């Protein structure tokens, strides 16, 4: 399933997004840390890796860090993320990866009652090496400002099939 096919239905679904952010102001994760990157590389993953992305969108995209990418009028975080995906897909596919699943999120069935994710997405990469090549591609990085403008919080969990 391609993101483009389902992107029109993606939006900030949680009416209490600002209240959640107010309760958890310092608990945001937008980029990997040096330690998490080192741990990921030290796992020695062989073969495919699937990245589970959990995304929480801003109500209004914040382009303050990348004003050169800002649209002429304000847009939602979900719309900014759609722009990021449109920019990213050719680079992802060129590296041998693809989006396998996109789904609307909400609150947990099992988990913290006040935590939610707007979207869950699975992205497949041929290998850690192809993921790293994709993630460091200068052309790809030129559109990262859309992602940063779009999301208020995220999680990225590398998954490997059991052997």
- pLDDT digits over 96-153, tens only? 999 999 999 988 899 998 889 999 999 999 999 999 999 999 999 999 999 999 999 9
Under DSSP, is residue 99 helix (H, G, I), strand (E, B) or coil? strand
Contact 116, 159 (CB under 8 A): no
Tell me which residue of 117, 121, 84 sits closest to 13, measured CA to CA. 117
Range of the domain at 63: 3-159
Say which DSSP state 122 is in.
E
- pLDDT digits over 35-74, tens only? 877 888 888 889 999 999 999 999 999 999 999 999 999 9
pTM of the model: 0.81
Mean per-residue pLDDT, 3-30: 49
The rounded distance, in Å, linking the Cα atoms of 4 and 18 is 27
CATH number, domain with residue 64: 3.30.70.100
- Could you give the number of structural domains in the chain? 1
For residue 148, what are the CA distances in angstroms to 109, 112, 118?
28, 25, 15
- Look at the block and give the residue holding tokens 């989006």: 99
Is the pLDDT score of 2 beyond 70? no
Say which residues have a Cβ less than 8 Å from residue 73's Cβ, sequence separation at least 6: none
Burial of 58 from C-beta contacts in 10 A (0-12 / 13-18 / 19+): buried
Is the pLDDT score of 20 beyond 50? no
């Amino acid at each position: 399933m391609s993101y483009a096919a389902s992107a029109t239905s993606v939006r900030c679904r949680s009416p209490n997004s600002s209240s959640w952010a107010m309760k958890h102001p310092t608990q945001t994760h937008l980029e990997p840390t040096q330690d998490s990157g080192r741990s990921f590389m030290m796992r020695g993953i062989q073969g495919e890796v699937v990245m589970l992305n959990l995304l929480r969108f801003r109500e209004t995209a914040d382009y303050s860090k990348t004003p050169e990418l800002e649209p002429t009028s304000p847009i939602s975080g979900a719309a900014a993320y759609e722009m990021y995906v449109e920019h990213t897909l050719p680079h992802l596919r060129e590296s041998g990866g693809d989006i396998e699943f996109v789904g609307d999120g909400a609150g947990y069935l099992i988990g913290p009652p006040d935590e939610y994710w707007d979207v869950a997405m699975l992205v497949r990469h041929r290998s850690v090496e192809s993921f790293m090549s994709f993630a460091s591609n200068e052309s790809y990085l030129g559109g990262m400002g859309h992602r940063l403008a779009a999301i208020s919080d995220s999680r990225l969990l590398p998954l490997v099939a059991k052997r």
